[in-house]
Amino acid sequence: MVRLRRGQLVLGGAALVLGFALAWSALHKDGGAAPQEASASMSAQDPLAALEQQTRDHPDDPATWRALGAARFDAGQFAEAAQAFEKASQLAPNMAVVWSSLGEARVMASKSDPMPPPALEAFRKAVSLDPKDPRARYFLAVNRDLGGDHQGAIADWLALLADTPQGAPWEADLKRTIEQVGKIHKIEVAGRMAAVKQPAAPAGALAPAPAMPTVAQGIPGPSPLDLKAAASIPPSQQRDMAEGMVARLEGKLKANPANPDGWLMLIRSRVTLGQPDKAAQALKDGIAANPGQAARLRQEAAVLGVK
């Protein structure tokens, strides 16, 4: 992700993050669930303070530090998130997801360098531990794109697609990134994408409950080309783009409301755009459409300050 100076691309970056909101719960497959205490703390009035207390109560528990890092990341406290993930990496140095989370937080915390060396080091450490780590693979491909190797970046994203189960939540957005980079650089990708043989989703398998709240999961941002393109868009148009993307998400949810993760994404989107009233309405609508998920929706919305 290209990291421009803060404020230069606030709305454009936010809109494109929403457009590439991959559901990265699969990234936690090798990390195990966070402790029950950390999950329960999300219902506290100040979730971050509760998680910080958890790290004081359990300073040698890497899952607790991961939970704090993810919550800080979601709150936009990227430097602080990196500090928490650094602590987790010290306690669990052989856990790939910790290193890829650390790398992403370092990218987001950088105010000038789109791929700071410590972030690249963390991503490389992650793939050395788990060559299939999706987050690290995505960002390593971004690094190739930043370096001008667009063909190589596309090849890496296609390889990631080949390991992405059919119907995975991030499948459509990964394909969109490949298509966009291919279009911008006049690289043929349609035939190559069609030739990719993705693994079938496990028959009858239910998606596991995420180790962290949906709203607190770290998600890769847009491609560097996304943000370069957004940088040239006037601020008023950036706002319009953001509003349009969120409106499309809301329209999809109204058509198919039995999607609690989608409602949480909408809530987060409204908070990102500075629309607390609309975020609260999204929470209300999500609960009405998914009464069996009411407790979870309220709990995770509270992480964003929505009640």
CATH number of the domain at 132, please. 1.25.40.10
Q: How far apart are CA 101 and CA 85, in angstroms?
A: 7
CA torsion sign for 231, 237, 240, 245 is negative
Q: Is 300 domain-assigned?
A: no
User: CA nearest 282: which of 304, 41, 292?
Assistant: 304
Q: Is 251 domain-assigned?
A: no
Q: Specify whether the CB–CB gap between 126 and 99 falls below 8 A.
A: yes
pLDDT at 79: 94
Strands (DSSP E) contained in 163-296 are: none
Q: Which domain holds residue 28?
A: 10-199+209-233
Q: Is 238 domain-assigned?
A: no
Q: Is 116 domain-assigned?
A: yes
Looking at the structure of the chain, the number of domains it has is 1
Q: How far apart are CA 131 and CA 125, in angstroms?
A: 10
Residue 62 in tokens: 């890497």
pLDDT at 106: 94
Place of tokens 């303070």: 49
Residue 108 in tokens: 């987001």
pLDDT by position in tens, the chain (length 307): 333 222 222 222 333 333 333 323 222 333 333 333 334 334 334 677 888 988 999 999 988 899 899 888 877 788 999 999 999 999 999 999 999 999 999 998 888 888 999 999 999 999 999 999 888 998 899 899 888 999 999 999 999 999 988 877 667 777 887 888 888 889 999 999 999 999 887 654 444 434 344 444 443 444 444 444 555 555 566 666 667 777 888 888 888 888 888 888 888 878 777 788 998 999 999 999 998 888 888 887 876 778 7
Q: Is 185 domain-assigned?
A: yes
Q: Is 290 domain-assigned?
A: no
Helix, strand, coil % in the chain, rounded to nearest 5: 65, 0, 35
Q: Is 104 domain-assigned?
A: yes
Q: Is 256 domain-assigned?
A: no
